[in-house]
Amino acid sequence: MNYELTYGCIGEHLPHSFSREIHGQIGGYAYELKELTPEELPAFMAARSFRGINVTIPYKQAVIPFLDEIDETARAIGAVNTVVNRNGKLYGFNTDLDGLTRLIRRIGLDLSGKKVLIPGTGGTSRTAAFAAEKLGAREIRKISRTGRNGSLTYEEALRDHADAEIILNTTPCGMYPEPDAQPLPLEPFHRLEGVADVIYNPLRTRLVREALSRGIPAEGGLYMLVAQAVRASEHFLDTVYPDGLTDRIYERILRQKENIVLIGMPGSGKSAVGRILAGKTGRPLADTDQLVTEKAGKPIPDIFRENGEPAFRDLESEIIRELSKQGGQIISTGGGAVLRPENVNVLRQNGRLFWLDRDPEALVPTDDRPLADTAEKMKQLYRDREPIYRAAADEIIPVTGTPENAADNIESR
């Protein structure tokens, strides 16, 4: 095996990591992703053929025996996510603590005097428990499937700790490629004040989306990932970066990874605006109506006539679920896509929803739109759907000029 590596990240499974892109915007150095099996880890660490590495699941504790020195904070936590090689000696640090603490503060959570539940018992859960203690939590309880080492089982957490005020998820439950998973339901937690989830792919896990739907402050782990990467790079290069670098890189990465989702009435210009945005940004364009037609092997009016609207909606939902797992796209949806709340929910996991709001008087009916093939149907459809579009939209884009104007408006948001 080739152990040569200047800077990079080691872990068992890294195909969907954002770390290379983030470090590419920090320090101007080559940064690689290196997947290692548990059997390969000892030889890699013994070779010491790197200058600096980040360490992710499942090796944040496994690397510790190979280190010559461990930072006081990392030692107290019992987990290392950054290793620096200085003249052949390996030094271990925990920059996850800085990242998670900054995420908690970004969300606006006050942990002082609060009961905190932490799903997970691995290296990141140790960091979360340490952060919660430093931020003044009254009670900190970890949760695991087995309840070993003093942790709660999930059943015990739901039964006996429904008064928890903060949840810090450190499990991979809900991570791509299984974004439908959720470590625990939030309905029982009647005093919940906030949720932080270390998962960053998808951008908003099902856990985060449920919290937000209940009006509870919540955010995924992208900001934490960027903040810890900036701190790790400072260790790599023995430097200090200016204030604001984390925020600037976070905003840039978020814009790159987040889908632009176009919603709105038939004839509001979604397809045209989508094509323009795809051309301007270089992002792939996915048109859900077109994909439904291709998958069904027939035009949408034929689907309605031969199979009925429910069959069309089922096929549309299936396509939206698959599209929503990936980021960095332009997604142009059918006019009725947001009628199903589950479609809005999954579109939000990696997307920002833009409602192209065109005056109903300017909407032109066509024969290929079964529900809007006359002017009167179109106006009634707008009246029925306007509150649904408004509730689903993250941004409202009035469509009064050209599609180019609408596309520029979206790009500027």
Residues with active-site annotation: 60
Length reported for the chain: 413
DSSP string, 126-181: HHHHHHHHHTT-SEEEEE-SS-GGGPBPHHHHHHH-TT--EEEE-S-TT-TT-TT-
Residue with tokens 């590419």: 24
Give the Cα separation of 299 and 183 in Å (integer).
Answer: 40
Question: Which DSSP state fits 343?
Answer: H
Give the Cα separation of 402 and 367 in Å (integer).
Answer: 23
Residue 376 CB contacts under 8 Å (≥ 6 apart), including other chains: none
Give the Cα separation of 293 and 26 in Å (integer).
Answer: 44
DSSP string, 173-227: TT-TT-TT--SS-STT-TT--EEEE---SSSS-HHHHHHHHTT--EE-SHHHHHH
